[in-house]
Amino acid sequence: FRAILSRVYIPSLTPTFSPEVIAFLNLLCFFSRCSTLRTSCHSHRSSKTPSIDTQFIQLRAEVSKMHRFVFLLSALAATTLPGAVDARRSWAELSGKYNWDGLLDPLDVDLRRTIIRYGELAQATSDAFIGDPASPYAGASRYAPPAFLRKAQVPTDPDAYRVTRFVYATSTSARVHADVFMTRPAPPGAWSTESNWMGYVAVATDRAAAALGRRDIVVAWRGTKRAVEWVDDLDITLVPATGVVGPGPGWSQPSVHRGFLSVYASKNSTSRFNKQSAREQVLAEIRRLLNAYKGENCSITLTGHSLGAALSTLTAIDIVTNGINVRGPPSSRDTVPVTAIVFGSPRVGDDQWKKAFDSTPGARLLRVRNAPDIVPTILPSAFYKDVGVELLVDTLKSPYLRKPGVGPAAWHNLECYLHGVAGTQGAGDGAGFSMAVDRDLALVNKEVDALKDQYPVPAAWWAERNKGMVKDASGRWVLQDHEEGNLAM
């Protein structure tokens, strides 16, 4: 029964049931089985014993009913059994209700899995992105929304979330657009020269919502694969975060990085993808989903890596300060919790931004930083300040990675970050590294060359077969690097 229960829930999304609740579920299953056997024995005494084939068919039917019974019972436990309070408190705690106090050092195993889970949803934006300028679809998603997470091969249950909207961004800053955050296709007649696909909004499916204990809405922002290349000449100009967050009690108007805000809030009337800014697209979709699930317990989780982490940080405070997460009539307001779990984030704003973020109830942020990564500290601390709670990992301690030979690109790489989360044993110099979560080592080399030679995994192995080139009916090779519907809004 424990084995069945362990398979009912989604790995790394499972609410933590107490041993008492698990025992209670086991007893209910046991009594149900006993009742079935009593009925079966009684019928056997009063009739001819069925054949072996008939008994096997009956047993298979009973097992099927038992699995269905346990599934329904476990889903019910997530909302109604005495242990459900613990389960709901568990997800709220993992989402930062208490600022992750007591969960980071040592890193709680459930939080470890939760961080990896959201990191995988962020990684999908990188894996699906067409980054080769030779493609007419450079800057777009390779996959369409309906099966996006499955096509991107998200490791942990790709069917747990359903993508409801793609998000597109542009920039009014020529410097940002040309050289830093945007990819522009070289061929004429390309899908867009003004916009880039920047991520997606997804919502937990019914099955996942039952396991999670709430309907989770996820915004996954795409990062930039050129982060390490642009740090030397990154524009450090600060501009007011007008519209996102304003002055408040104890702080004046916050200012944020000009490039990050430009990607987040710019629109372009000549692009059909950015008549609305990325900000407007995301906030509108969150409103729509909260209304669609207004009778349910909901949460909003933002995730991203590098540039995506900066955009997640902007989105978190934007949602809270502008009341996007508040629903219901004034007499019975319901405030939906907002959490950002980000990786390799550069600093976003100034000291007033930090005061505003830290003073805004409901804006929670867990910032994962790899000790040797230069991106989180590249913007000078004299002008830019960190926000949220930091989880420090150190992939230099990993016995699986080459030393020396791993450089800045690997230190900033998201899969290397997730490897660090899976193995970190504490922030201190004396803390070791061992895989507390069984995470596939091959993922480390998905985009970089970091694993030791004793592991037979090619460097940067994640690529479309033949770089998307296929033979057409005439026998000529043509580029077909995307599926139909990949430009969905």
Give the pair of three-digit tokens for residue 446.
Answer: 């998905």
Residue of 177, 257, 412, 482 marked catalytic: 412
Closest CA to 296 of 328, 257, 254: 328
What is the pLDDT at residue 331? 79
Give the pair of three-digit tokens for residue 436.
Answer: 């507390």
Q: What is the mean pLDDT of the segment spanning 197-207?
A: 98
pLDDT value at 284 more than 60: yes
Say how far apart CA 136 and CA 479 lie, in whole Å.
9
Q: What is the mean pLDDT of the segment spanning 90-97?
A: 94
Give the pair of three-digit tokens for residue 362.
Answer: 């409901």
pLDDT value at 3 more than 70: no
Lowest mean pLDDT segment, chosen from 59-63, 155-159, 234-238 = 59-63
What is the pLDDT at residue 85? 34
Best-predicted range by mean pLDDT (2-6, 25-29, 373-377): 373-377
Quote the mean pLDDT of the chain. Answer: 85
Q: Contact 144/488 with Cβ under 8 angstroms?
A: yes
Give the up-direction half-sphere exposure of residue 333: CA atoms within 13 A in the CB hemisphere: 7
What is the pLDDT at residue 79? 38
Confidence of residue 77 (pLDDT cuts 50, 70, 90): very low
Lowest mean pLDDT segment, chosen from 17-26, 217-226, 456-465 = 17-26
What is the pLDDT at residue 11? 40
What is the pLDDT at residue 82? 32
Q: What is the DSSP letter of 10?
A: P
pLDDT value at 388 more than 80: yes
Q: At what angle do helices 351-359 and 307-321 cross, to 10 degrees?
A: 50
pLDDT value at 407 more than 50: yes
Confidence of residue 84 (pLDDT cuts 50, 70, 90): very low
C-alpha torsion 126→301→431→223, nearest 10: 20
Q: Is 306 known to be catalytic?
A: yes
Per-residue pLDDT tens digits for 48-57: 555 655 655 5
Percent of the chain with pLDDT over 70: 78
What is the pLDDT at residue 277? 97
pLDDT value at 239 more than 90: yes
Per-residue pLDDT tens digits for 419-446: 999 999 987 788 899 999 999 999 999 9
Confidence of residue 10 (pLDDT cuts 50, 70, 90): very low
What is the pLDDT at residue 61? 61
pLDDT value at 411 more than 80: yes
Confidence of residue 5 (pLDDT cuts 50, 70, 90): very low
What is the pLDDT at residue 195? 94
Confidence of residue 229 (pLDDT cuts 50, 70, 90): low
Confidence of residue 208 (pLDDT cuts 50, 70, 90): very high
Say how far apart CA 38 and CA 32 lie, in whole Å.
10
What is the pLDDT at residue 175? 57
Per-residue pLDDT tens digits for 327-348: 988 878 899 999 999 999 999 9
| In the chain, ranges of CATH 3.40.50.1820 domains | 96-479
Q: What is the mean pLDDT of the segment spanning 150-162?
A: 97
Q: What is the mean pLDDT of the segment spanning 245-273?
A: 95
145's CB contacts (< 8 A; 6+ apart) are 163, 164, 165, 166, 200, 485, 488
Residue of 373, 386, 394, 481 marked catalytic: 373
* CATH number assigned to the domain with residue range 96-479, chosen from the 4 options 3.30.70.240, 3.40.50.1820, 3.30.420.40, 3.40.50.2300: 3.40.50.1820
Say how far apart CA 209 and CA 91 lie, in whole Å.
12
Q: Contact 174/221 with Cβ under 8 angstroms?
A: no
Lowest mean pLDDT segment, chosen from 11-25, 178-192, 473-487 = 11-25
Q: Is 412 known to be catalytic?
A: yes
Residue of 171, 192, 306, 345 marked catalytic: 306
Say how far apart CA 384 and CA 345 lie, in whole Å.
12
pLDDT value at 167 more than 50: yes
